[in-house]
Amino acid sequence: MEGRAQRRRQIRRDVPAGTVRLFFALWPEAGAQRALGALAQDLKRECGGRAVPRHNVHLTLIFLGNVERTRIPRLEALAAGIRGARFDLAVNCVEFWPHNRITWAGTRHCPEALRELVARLGQGLAAEGFRVDGRPYVPHITLLRNARRPTVTAAPPVINWPVTGFALVESAQRERGRVYEVVRDWPLTA
Ligand code: ATP
Ligand code: MG
């Protein structure tokens, strides 16, 4: 019990009292998680920087930032009402953003079902008064932070990520680094 109370105190350290840092995301199943974790390690050897550990790999749908804890049930109700189709995400490219030195994996063709999911979530959130990013959605899976050089990998990755649901995730700063915890997840329809 004491461990849990201590954990809660650590969670709150990086956010204003009574709030949590949240985002909606796709969380990979075991196969895609393993492949993306291995890709992060390969890229680290090539580009330096810090590899995202396998258990932290995800694809952000919408970043919410600090949200009052009391609003979580509204977010959950909203997400439960979202209808979306399952899809396969083909992870087939690696890119580097010089402005933040992030190396990420993505897809050359964003599936329509992913676009729709993000759009529906965004509309629902806006209707509930949440502030959402209006910039065009670029699906990116962060794999390296503080990368020292862009990737020059000749062969693009070939990773299939079967997407069967989406999640509300808490992002917490702990002594051992940033930790993401799935608050709740919802299925997409077959
Ligand atoms: P840190 O900020 O400590 O380096 P982080 O970026 O992984 O760690 P968060 O800032 O909590 O953790 O972000 C959680 C997820 O949301 C990450 O995938 C991050 O890329 C994404 N994200 C964060 N801020 C934004 C934003 N303004 N717009 C879109 N996505 C964002
Ligand atoms: Mg961040």
**Is 5 inside a domain boundary?**
no
Q: Is the pLDDT of residue 10 over 70?
A: no
User: CA-to-CA distance for 52 and 43, rounded, in angstroms?
Assistant: 11
pLDDT for the residue 1: 45
User: CA-to-CA distance for 26 and 165, rounded, in angstroms?
Assistant: 7
- Has 140 been annotated as catalytic? yes
171 lines ligand 1 (CB under 6 A): yes
Confidence of residue 175 (pLDDT cuts 50, 70, 90): confident
Q: Which of 56, 186, 62 is nearest to 121 (CA)?
A: 62
118-156 confidence digits (pLDDT tens): 999 999 999 999 988 889 999 999 999 999 999 887 789
Domain of 128? 21-187
23 lines ligand 1 (CB under 6 A): yes
CA angle 93, 96, 97 (to 5 degrees): 135
**Is 36 inside a domain boundary?**
yes
Q: Given phi > 0 = left and psi -120 to 50 = alpha, else beta, which region is 143?
A: alpha
**Is 138 inside a domain boundary?**
yes
The answer to whether 106 touches 78, Cβ cutoff 8 Å, is no
14-30 confidence digits (pLDDT tens): 778 899 999 999 999 99
**Is 117 inside a domain boundary?**
yes
Report the separation in Å between the CA atom of 64 and the middle of ligand 1, taken as the mean of its atom positions: 9
56-74 confidence digits (pLDDT tens): 999 999 999 999 999 999 9
**Is 152 inside a domain boundary?**
yes
Q: Which helix (H) or strand (E) holds 144?
A: strand 141-145
CB atoms within 10 A of CB 47: 22
**Is 1 inside a domain boundary?**
no
Average pLDDT, the chain: 92
60 lines ligand 1 (CB under 6 A): yes
What CATH number did the domain enclosing 51 receive? 3.90.1140.10
Average pLDDT (175-184) is 92
CB atoms within 10 A of CB 65: 14
Based on the structure, what is the number of domains in the chain? 1
**Is 16 inside a domain boundary?**
no
Q: Is the pLDDT of residue 9 over 80?
A: no
- Has 55 been annotated as catalytic? no
- Count the residues in the chain: 190
DSSP 188: P
Predicted TM-score of the model (pTM): 0.91
71-105 confidence digits (pLDDT tens): 999 999 999 999 999 999 999 999 999 999 999 99
**Is 33 inside a domain boundary?**
yes
Q: Whose C-alpha lies nearest to ligand 1, atom 8?
A: 178
133 lines ligand 1 (CB under 6 A): yes
Report the separation in Å between the CA atom of 190 and the middle of ligand 2, taken as the mean of its atom positions: 32
Q: Mapping DSSP to helix (H, G, I), strand (E, B) and coil, where does residue 29 land?
A: coil
